[in-house]
Chain A
Amino acid sequence: MDAVALSRLQFAFTIGFHILWPTLTIGTAWFVTVLSALWWRTGNTVYRDLMRFWMRLFALGFGMGVVTGIVLSYEIGTNWAGFSRSVANVLGPLFAYETMTAFFLEAGFIGIMLFGEGRVSKGAHFFACLMVAMGALISSTWIIAANSWMQTPAGAVADAQGIYHVVSWWEVIFTASFPYRLAHMVCASFLTCSFVIAGVSAFHLWRGQHVAASRTAFSMALWLALVLAPLQIFIGDMHGRNTMVEQPTKLAAMEGLWETTKGPAMTVIAWPDMAAQKNFYAIDIPHLASLYLTHSWDGQVQGLKAVPPQDQPNVPIVFFAFRVMAGIGVVLLATAITGFVLRLRGRLFTARWFQFLTIATTPLGFLAVLAGWTVTEAGRQPWIIYGALRTADAAAPVAAGAVTTSLLIFFAVYNVLLLAFVWFAGRVALKGPIDSSPVTREHPGMERSTLGAFTTSPVPSPVRGTDPARA
């Protein structure tokens, strides 16, 4: 492979790995914030226990997000120097604003959020949580503004050297696809987290442990899912119709639509063959795509063949990734509705099969987010700036060997990280919200909680001092 293909692979891998953590932390930061507010206002210790529990999981995910995010801010230069040269005037300030308004906000308050309980008042702790949660949202806003500009560029003109100069900052930030993409991603994060919270709580309900806290979290998460799952499908539909107008080739790849058609059918499943420029083994439902895309029986939708093959994205990747995302959306909606029906019948906390089902849905949101970003990024190809700059012309003058080295190390390092995260976060999650009743110390190095579970702890240090939370 040449340096461009290797750089693409490396960027796809590193950004795909990175997006998992913001997805987890945007939602959990808000959950912790809500719990901090509830604990502050009600004094109910269930909220405090849940807050501390989800804070621990949040902290692990946040750390992963920080370290994998720093990589991206440098990779744009190291691997995509041509792109950086072309768009620095436009995207540089957006990234700088993201750092200034979001990363610093999160970094400034994360210490108080994670370690400040007991040092600051409950109200101040809530404020710190709120700032971290706001930081996460502000960060997504800037970065999605930058991504949307690459999808639907506006407000800047390129000179003869291909360098973009900004004409209107308003148009650069609020591009045609920006509001839809932002809403879709933020909603995806909240939806994913609601199923993570539901899944972890379901595990404890199934085990019959931490019942009070787990019921509270399970119920909160499923209420949220009931609102967000249909909302996400609604936003997704609007985003799709915006894509049809702004990036018709991407939409055609999502739908597997080769010919420009009046009243196109919905292709449920098929094998899109790029060499033959047609679908094999297609199962079609007549006129359905026309209904949801154009809201009419005989609307016209542009097909892939409207552009020459070298301007088409990799159709099978976009086509199948879209089906994975949409399929998971439907599964999550069905789960949320099932939960609502059980709740109406008073069996929400007792139906064991439903606990199994929600445990199984825990990772689905992440898969859907990965699939969704695959649709939007692979669907933009072969352009890095849609219709303006080809990815092949955007790479940096680096040697293929150097990129191969870094790619292999990224692959190894990120897999180790993921294993370590699953191991540690899994252990925290399966242990559950800690019972806040006093702990008895029986002998040095061993502590026994009131549940009777033994755990080893490091040898107590002479500087340990008093622990307000344990007293």
Chain B
Amino acid sequence: MTELLQADTVPLVFAAVAVFCVTVYVLADGLDLGVGILFLAAPRDADRDLMMASIEPVWDGNETWLVMGGTLLFAAFPAGYYILLPAFYLPIMFMLFALIFRGVAFGFRLQATRFRLVWDIAFFAGSVLATFCQGLILGGLITGVPVDNGMFAGGPFSFLSLLGVLCGAGLVGGYALIGAGWLIWKTDGATQVFAREIAHAALILTGAMMALVSAWSAWSVPEVAARWFAFPNLALLAPVPLVTLAVIVALWRGIWEGGQARTFLLALALFALGLVGLIVSLWPYLVPRHVTVWDGMSDPQSLAFLAVGIAIIIPIVLAYQAHAYWVFRGKTVHEHGAYGGHAGS
């Protein structure tokens, strides 16, 4: 086992697992952060009840992938953990504060009567802020962090970049799009109409920001431009933006027509393509242009111990998370007050 793991392919396997975890996190928490982003835009309180009820049983499982991403980084690629986390100290802290507020809003909003609006706002603002902070981190990662002697060597605001702001806006739009797609799928009536309407705005924001982020990172980070525009790459990578464009067109045309799950699934596909683009831009770096995945990984015996758990447990986890979605399949019916169907009376 250990010998097998000393091969050069090992970091590739773990990088693939890490990418997988990030993807699942972005797609899964994207849908409930997205619902949060749209929360105050919904016209009626009844819509908000339904929107929250549609994600209530699954949000915790979705957010656990964020913890998984963090712990996997710590366990498999510690250099990424101890260099990048201090580098993004402030956006990470603000993301955590935001996640705290939106997380507790689930429970407290159910119990609240007079101050419901406070928890509505907490849920909305928490979702937007957490998403925007993730964008700041992403943009800062592409721009690069200062590293000296194997540790972060910048100041508290060196994470800040124009690219980060663009990524933040793009992620807000993108999560809102996934959230709208989810609502089209999981609700009907007036809430569904609202979701279809707002999906257009979300799609415009997402598409515009994807184009801007791509252009600006190629312009401002020469290594990224070199990766995409050098010769054989240009031909090989051309399908990525082209397919992305096709998905955007299909999304635009399918919001009112087509199957009810279509917008949701296409929005997920759009995000997956964005991630592919990101990996193309950054590979093989863990800390861009400083530490590669080969240099930043942990000991073979630690990876071997970890691999056993990942191989056995992650498939089981995926199976019962899918089961949890299955139990709550179909259109969400709002039974107000919830736990045991019987609160607030």
On whether the two chains bind one another, the answer is yes
Is the CB of A66 closer than 8 A to any CB of chain B?
yes
Known contacts A52-B340, A78-B85, A464-B334; is-contact A68 B100 (Cβ 8 Å): yes
Please tell me if the beta carbons of A92 and B107 are within 8 angstroms of each other in the complex.
Answer: no
Chain B 55-91 residues near chain A, CB threshold 8 A: 56-58, 60-61, 63-64, 66-68, 70-76, 78-79, 81-86, 88-90
Please tell me if the beta carbons of A78 and B324 are within 8 angstroms of each other in the complex.
Answer: no
Please tell me if the beta carbons of A111 and B151 are within 8 angstroms of each other in the complex.
Answer: no
- List A contacts of B285 (CB < 8 A): none
Interface residues on B, range: 35 or more
B43 to A: closest C-beta gap in Å: 12
Chain B 297-345 residues near chain A, CB threshold 8 A: 298-299, 301-302, 305-306, 309-310, 313-314, 317, 320-321, 323-324, 327-328, 333-345
In the complex, which of the residues B46, B116, B343 contacts A56, with contact meaning CB atoms closer than 8 Å? B343
Please tell me if the beta carbons of B320 and A109 are within 8 angstroms of each other in the complex.
Answer: yes
Please tell me if the beta carbons of B76 and A92 are within 8 angstroms of each other in the complex.
Answer: yes
Please tell me if the beta carbons of B61 and A89 are within 8 angstroms of each other in the complex.
Answer: no
In the complex, which of the residues B50, B100, B153 contacts A413, with contact meaning CB atoms closer than 8 Å? B100
Please tell me if the beta carbons of B313 and A84 are within 8 angstroms of each other in the complex.
Answer: no
B83's closest neighbor in chain A, by CB?
A81
Interface residues on A, range: 35 or more
Please tell me if the beta carbons of A402 and B341 are within 8 angstroms of each other in the complex.
Answer: no
Question: Hey, what's the 0/1 contact readout for A215-226 against B, CB within 8 Å counting as 1?
Answer: 000000000000
CA–CA, A410 to B92, complex, Å?
A: 13
Is the CB of B99 closer than 8 A to any CB of chain A?
yes
Is the CB of A229 closer than 8 A to any CB of chain B?
no
Known contacts A397-B151, A470-B342; 19 further A-B pairs (Cβ under 8 A)? A51-B340, A64-B104, A67-B100, A73-B67, A81-B151, A88-B302, A99-B68, A100-B314, A103-B67, A104-B313, A107-B63, A109-B324, A110-B60, A114-B57, A116-B57, A166-B302, A420-B104, A461-B49, A463-B334
Please tell me if the beta carbons of B57 and A81 are within 8 angstroms of each other in the complex.
Answer: no
- List A contacts of B345 (CB < 8 A): 434, 439, 447, 449, 455, 457
Question: What are 18 sample pairs from A and B whose C-beta atoms fall under 8 A apart?
Answer: A63-B106, A77-B81, A77-B82, A77-B84, A84-B81, A85-B150, A95-B74, A96-B71, A96-B309, A100-B314, A104-B321, A166-B301, A413-B100, A420-B108, A434-B343, A434-B345, A461-B50, A463-B189
Is the CB of A233 closer than 8 A to any CB of chain B?
no
Is the CB of B254 closer than 8 A to any CB of chain A?
no
- List B contacts of A88 (CB < 8 A): 74-75, 78, 81-82, 298, 302
A124's closest neighbor in chain B, by CB?
B327
B293 to A: closest C-beta gap in Å: 15
Top 8 A-B pairs ranked by shortest CB distance? A111-B57, A92-B75, A77-B85, A88-B78, A461-B46, A469-B341, A52-B340, A67-B103
Please tell me if the beta carbons of A84 and B74 are within 8 angstroms of each other in the complex.
Answer: yes
Is the CB of B295 closer than 8 A to any CB of chain A?
no
Question: Hey, what's the 0/1 contact readout for A87-119 against B, CB within 8 Å counting as 1?
Answer: 011111101111111011111111110111111
- List A contacts of B84 (CB < 8 A): 77
CA–CA, A411 to B340, complex, Å?
A: 34
B150 to A: closest C-beta gap in Å: 8
Question: Hey, what's the 0/1 contact readout for A392-415 against B, CB within 8 Å counting as 1?
Answer: 000011110111011001100100
- List B contacts of A120 (CB < 8 A): 327
Is the CB of B97 closer than 8 A to any CB of chain A?
yes
- List B contacts of A428 (CB < 8 A): 111, 343
A111's closest neighbor in chain B, by CB?
B57
- List B contacts of A114 (CB < 8 A): 57, 338-340
- List B contacts of A55 (CB < 8 A): 339-340
Please tell me if the beta carbons of B90 and A402 are within 8 angstroms of each other in the complex.
Answer: yes
Known contacts A100-B68, A398-B86; is-contact A117 B340 (Cβ 8 Å): yes
Interface of A is mostly: helix
- List A contacts of B259 (CB < 8 A): none
- List B contacts of A265 (CB < 8 A): none
- List B contacts of A467 (CB < 8 A): 335, 341-342
In the complex, which of the residues A68, A397, A449 contacts B86, with contact meaning CB atoms closer than 8 Å? A397
Is the CB of A444 closer than 8 A to any CB of chain B?
no
B137 to A: closest C-beta gap in Å: 11
- List B contacts of A89 (CB < 8 A): 78, 298-299, 301-302
B96 to A: closest C-beta gap in Å: 5
Please tell me if the beta carbons of A70 and B63 are within 8 angstroms of each other in the complex.
Answer: yes
B184 to A: closest C-beta gap in Å: 15
Is the CB of B294 closer than 8 A to any CB of chain A?
no
In the complex, which of the residues B58, B75, B79, B328 contacts A96, with contact meaning CB atoms closer than 8 Å? B75
- List A contacts of B339 (CB < 8 A): 52, 55-56, 59, 114-115
CA–CA, A243 to B101, complex, Å?
A: 39
In the complex, which of the residues A73, A100, A399, A417 contacts B310, with contact meaning CB atoms closer than 8 Å? A100
Please tell me if the beta carbons of B343 and A77 are within 8 angstroms of each other in the complex.
Answer: no
Please tell me if the beta carbons of B301 and A165 are within 8 angstroms of each other in the complex.
Answer: yes
Please tell me if the beta carbons of B328 and A81 are within 8 angstroms of each other in the complex.
Answer: no
Most chain A beta carbons < 10 A, residue from B44, B67, B79: B67
Question: Hey, what's the 0/1 contact readout for A58-75 against B, CB within 8 Å counting as 1?
Answer: 011001101111110110
Please tell me if the beta carbons of A84 and B99 are within 8 angstroms of each other in the complex.
Answer: no
In the complex, which of the residues B85, B309, B340, B341 contacts A81, with contact meaning CB atoms closer than 8 Å? B85
In the complex, which of the residues A112, A396, A405 contacts B82, with contact meaning CB atoms closer than 8 Å? A396
- List B contacts of A459 (CB < 8 A): 45-46
Is the CB of A76 closer than 8 A to any CB of chain B?
yes
Please tell me if the beta carbons of B70 and A66 are within 8 angstroms of each other in the complex.
Answer: no
CA–CA, A114 to B83, complex, Å?
A: 39
Please tell me if the beta carbons of B342 and A52 are within 8 angstroms of each other in the complex.
Answer: yes
- List A contacts of B305 (CB < 8 A): 93, 166, 169
A52 to B: closest C-beta gap in Å: 4
B223 to A: closest C-beta gap in Å: 24
Is the CB of B261 closer than 8 A to any CB of chain A?
no
